[in-house]
Structure 1
Amino acid sequence: MKKIIYFALAFAVCIPMLAQIQSPQPSPAAKIMQRVGLTDVTVEYSRPSMRGRTIFGDLVPFDKIWRTGANARTTITFNTDIMVGDRSLKAGSYAIFTKPSASSWDVYFYTETGGGGTPQEWDESKVAAMVSAEVMTMEMPVETFTITIDDLHNSGATLGMLWENTYVGVPFTVPSKEMTMKSIESVMAGPSGNDYFAAASYYFQEGEDLEQAKKWVDKAVSMNSNAFWMMRLQSLIYAKMGDKKGAIEAAKKSLAVAKAANNADYVKLNEDSLKEWGAM
């Protein structure tokens, strides 16, 4: 009985030790998600506040690399290639570092996103792009460091950074025109061979209208002369429709192209079918 009591008391003592106190963070995390044209842009950062302090030229020294926020590195992610200044940035994630001065900031897009604060050793080879942006003085101070994506238009936006009486904006452009033109051309050109093949495959597998499946697979093969997998489906559809001659002809074409491509799987599949249909 005493052992049970001692165990219960020990367990009760451990509970407070396991609990974690939750309290507001001095620099809370923030996340911005914005579509710019056809590009998705995401910014993740932490937001320190002034709290009566002088920021630029004091808390954030001039002419030194700053993490551009607090805690972990501020990151920006693009799901397409973009342009910032005259530099192209590939789709992906970048840490944003800045070097503030009284009249302008140098803004760096750094390929190494992990870690907290600035790198112990700055590596210029990891700077994917750097642009200089003019400092604009604001009449009303901003208490908490803020990043914005504003001035939205079809082909770009401005990455803004605001704190104290300072605003810095970095314009960037996105490939909306190129993506839209490509989409228009694709749609106006009609379905691709892969589209016809996918539709025919579904109809064949689900036992739907084989006449329609045949039309689609014939169209797919006509648009892809070296697609042995499409010819293979064509042979199976013909066979299921009772067109043994057409099935053998399609299987032989698929076999020849599969051999040329060194695809052993499709070589065997076609040879097995040709044997089954008495053509080998």
Structure 2
Amino acid sequence: MKRNVFIGLFLCAVISIEAQIQTPALSPAAKLTQTVGLTEITVEYSRPSMRGRKIFGNLVPYNKLWRTGANARTKITLSDDVTISGDTLKKGVYAIFTIPKANSWDVIFYNEADGSGSIPTLNDNKIALQANVPTEEIPVSIETFTISFDDLKPDGGTLGFMWENTYVGVKIAVPSEAKAMASIESVMNGPSANDYYNAASYFRSSGKDLKRALTWITKATELNKNAFWMFREKSLIHAALGDKKAAIEAAEKSLAIAEKYNNADYIKMNKESIAQWRK
């Protein structure tokens, strides 16, 4: 009886020790969050490595469904509706499946994000969006499968897939302009100096109504007379409107305040602009 009890305690101790053992995963998990314009996009996936193997056309066969990584399904979360290849992908969570081919990939956003790492038989009714994207050959060998966000702009970016010598870039357009305009219209009911400044800066940088931008930046500088960055923005708007005299006056005001606060960047920018506008 005592012998059995001893054996039982020994086995429990062994199981407990084994339960605490941790080893590194061959395909470690990764989570990538990127703000694209005003939209937040998160990708969760596992990252297999080449380890001396031929990948595409071998380990990952051509013309076969791939889970786009390893282990559990690769997931993407969108905070807003986005546009891919001219079609709308609603905000939400999706699995990303792909069908690699020699010269292109079919990239599939699937409505069933959770699930095991096994390759499912896709239900056409659950395919939210499918896009065919050409492959690009890259001159260096990427050892570990990598998903990235590339070519970021205010209105979109590229969701990149890289492994071995292959790169696939899925262009994603985000609703930045609609969200920005809605925010501006909402805030302008009771704006602060920063609200006026942000709205004016956005209008100038995105090529919108410059006269409206000038009205807003003028109100901003009236509310905050020591904001050298606001007077700098005012000078740029005047210059964009072709009024160099007013641009120089605003830049000189920005320069004087920047010198008072010893801001080297704005001192340099204003001096360069004034010299250029005086030519």
Equivalence for 2:35: 35
Q: 1:90, CA displacement in angstroms?
A: 1.0
Equivalence for 2:102: 102
Whole-Å Cα distance in 2 between the matches of residues 152 and 36 of structure 1? Answer: 7
8 Å CA contact 1:80–1:90 kept in 2: the answer is yes
Q: 1:15, CA displacement in angstroms?
A: 1.4
Does residue 26 of structure 1 match 2:26? Answer: yes
| Structure 2 unmatched runs, 5+ | 192-279
One-letter amino acid matched to 1:172 = I
Structure 2 SS opposite 1:99: strand
Whole-Å Cα distance in 1 between the matches of residues 116 and 58 of structure 2? Answer: 21
Does residue 137 of structure 1 match 2:140? Answer: no
Whole-Å Cα distance in 2 between the matches of residues 116 and 10 of structure 1? Answer: 35
Report Cα offsets for 1:126-180 as digits up to 9, x if no partner: 1111111111111110011000011111111100000000000001011111001
Could you say what the CA RMSD is over the residues aligned between the two structures, in angstroms? 1.9
Equivalence for 2:65: 65
Q: 1:78, CA displacement in angstroms?
A: 0.5
8 Å CA contact 2:65–2:119 kept in 1: the answer is no
Report Cα offsets for 1:90-139 as digits up to 9, x if no partner: 11011111111111111011111111235532111111111111111111
Whole-Å Cα distance in 1 between the matches of residues 4 and 72 of structure 2? Answer: 44
Equivalence for 1:17: 15
Spell out the pairing of 1:180-199 with structure 2 (5 A cutoff): 180-190=180-190
Whole-Å Cα distance in 1 between the matches of residues 52 and 6 of structure 2? Answer: 50
Equivalence for 2:253: none
Equivalence for 2:166: 166
Whole-Å Cα distance in 1 between the matches of residues 120 and 160 of structure 2? Answer: 26
One-letter amino acid matched to 2:123 = D
Equivalence for 2:247: none
Spell out the pairing of 1:89-238 with structure 2 (5 A cutoff): 89-117=89-117, 119-190=119-190
8 Å CA contact 1:66–1:118 kept in 2: the answer is no
Structure 2 SS opposite 1:186: helix
8 Å CA contact 1:65–1:118 kept in 2: the answer is no
Structure 1 SS opposite 2:113: coil
**TM-score with structure 1 length normalisation?**
0.64
Equivalence for 1:201: none
Structure 2 SS opposite 1:125: helix
Which has the larger displacement, 180-189 or 5-14? 5-14
One-letter amino acid matched to 1:134 = P
Structure 1 SS opposite 2:161: strand
Between structure 1 and structure 2, the one with the greater Rg is 1
8 Å CA contact 1:142–1:162 kept in 2: the answer is yes
One-letter amino acid matched to 2:22 = Q
8 Å CA contact 1:82–1:172 kept in 2: the answer is yes
Structure 2 SS opposite 1:189: coil
Report Cα offsets for 1:198-238 as digits up to 9, x if no partner: xxxxxxxxxxxxxxxxxxxxxxxxxxxxxxxxxxxxxxxxx
Q: 1:8, CA displacement in angstroms?
A: 6.6
Equivalence for 2:80: 80
Structure 1 SS opposite 2:144: strand
Structure 1 SS opposite 2:187: helix
One-letter amino acid matched to 2:170 = V
Q: 1:7, CA displacement in angstroms?
A: 5.2
8 Å CA contact 1:98–1:107 kept in 2: the answer is yes
**TM-score with structure 2 length normalisation?**
0.64
Structure 2 SS opposite 1:180: helix
Equivalence for 1:216: none
Q: 1:190, CA displacement in angstroms?
A: 3.4
8 Å CA contact 2:67–2:96 kept in 1: the answer is yes
Whole-Å Cα distance in 1 between the matches of residues 46 and 7 of structure 2? Answer: 42
8 Å CA contact 2:82–2:173 kept in 1: the answer is yes
Q: 1:12, CA displacement in angstroms?
A: 4.3
Percent of aligned positions that are identical? 52
Q: 1:13, CA displacement in angstroms?
A: 3.8
